[in-house]
Amino acid sequence: MDLSRKVFDDVSQMIGSPGNPTPLLRLRRLPLRGSGEILAKLEWMNPFGSIKDRTAKFLLEGLQRDGRIAGKRIVEPTSGNTGIALAALSNIIGLPCTITIPSGAPEEKIALLRLLGAEVWPTPDDLCPVDHPKDGAIALARTFVTSEATRDRYVMPNQYENPDNVRAHYETTGPEIWEQTEGKVTHFFAGYGTCGTITGVAKYLKEKKPDVQVVAIEPERGHRLSGLKNFEESRTPGILDRSLVDKTVRVSDTHAYRTTIRLAREESLLAGPSTGAIVWAALQENLPPGTVSVCISPDNAFKYVSFLAEYVAGDGVPEVSLTA
């Protein structure tokens, strides 16, 4: 691997790291004139298209470190991105992969999982929920590693409870943000999902600068923001450290999708709806000059075309008619 010339020996080496950070993009048009600086960390520049590439890499390395992976098949519940990255990385090391995913996930994510050769189990949210009505995929994955018939053949990284998820962001995403902002970051915005990102980055940044404000974004009940969690309908992940979160902002689908469209049309940024939710929350703070806010942009718009289509269906209609 030669980072100076961007020559890699395998695609996993392209995953973001302090020596090869994902970009920060300064938003120029959405923030109000005279407000603080807002930077989007473009995690979809990772090779498999999301921030979950980091998580999957650390989860698999952890299983190998602990000697839990030999002769096993991976099984993992996911809203899509972690599963895509796990399937891709499993291909590199020749490991079979089974993914349970909510049946309401974007069809693009399910197609990508199948493209990568994963065994895919689209799962109704209410299928034997563990603690909450939206945890069906988690419950199904757990049966693979607890059932007497299958438990010796499967291993579950369990991103919701695994400290290696937090470690991925404590060791990479957090240090990248600190170095890229030259320590000037004052606010960090990220969504509630598996909570590895917000916990790991917040821990690192607050160790460096205790007054950094960490703002969590939570969707409304019944949302369509894949990858984000509302903890009234989903179980709170064990790896979330709430003591690191200074404020939680609830965001509606409408605000998230409208901001996603604004990002595309005003910043030429083809980000996914969770980015729209996170940036909307940052804009509402209307922070003063001198502040530096970093918003995680977890993935891009291409995995959500089927979801975005309904919001733009009436746009782009020709305003003139052509006659012969």
Among the three residues 155, 188, 217, which one is the final residue of a domain in this structure? Answer: 155
In the DSSP assignment, the letter for residue 193 is S
User: 35 and 64: one domain?
Assistant: no
User: 41 and 57: one domain?
Assistant: no
Residue 294 has a pLDDT of 98
**Could you please report the per-residue DSSP string of 235-255?**
PPPTT--GGG--EEEEE-HHH
In total, the chain counts a number of residues equal to 324
User: 215 and 275: one domain?
Assistant: yes
User: 233 and 305: one domain?
Assistant: yes
User: 221 and 139: one domain?
Assistant: no
Which run of H or E residues covers position 163? Answer: helix 163-168
User: 113 and 181: one domain?
Assistant: no
User: 296 and 234: one domain?
Assistant: yes
User: 173 and 306: one domain?
Assistant: yes
Query: How many domains does the chain divide into?
Result: 2
Q: Is residue 83 included in any domain, yes or no?
A: yes
**Could you please report the per-residue DSSP string of 93-154?**
HT--EEEEEETTS-HHHHHHHHHTT-EEEEE-TTSS-SSSTT-HHHHHHHHHHHSTTTTTTE
Q: Is residue 260 included in any domain, yes or no?
A: yes
Q: Is residue 289 included in any domain, yes or no?
A: yes
Amino acid, single-letter form, for residue 79: S
One digit per residue, the tens of pLDDT, for the chain of length 324 reads 888 888 999 999 999 999 999 999 999 999 998 899 999 999 999 999 999 999 999 999 999 999 999 899 999 999 899 999 999 999 999 999 999 999 989 999 999 999 999 999 998 866 555 555 557 888 899 999 999 999 999 999 999 999 999 999 999 999 999 999 999 999 999 999 999 999 999 999 999 999 999 999 999 999 999 999 999 998 999 999 999 999 999 999 999 999 999 999 999 999 999 999 999 999 999 899 999 999 999 999 999 999 999 999 999 988 887 775
What is the CATH number for 231?
A: 3.40.50.1100
User: 221 and 239: one domain?
Assistant: yes
User: 186 and 296: one domain?
Assistant: yes
User: 186 and 249: one domain?
Assistant: yes
Host domain of residue 238 = 11-45+169-311
Residue 82 has φ and ψ, to the nearest 5°, of -65, -40
Neighbours of 65 (CB within 10 A): 11
User: 41 and 63: one domain?
Assistant: no
- pTM of this prediction? 0.94
Cα angle 176, 251, 297; round to 5: 25
Among the three residues 124, 155, 186, which one is the final residue of a domain in this structure? Answer: 155
Residue 214 has a pLDDT of 98
Tell whether the torsion through CA atoms of 309, 312, 315 and 316 is positive or negative: negative
Catalytic residue list = 52, 274
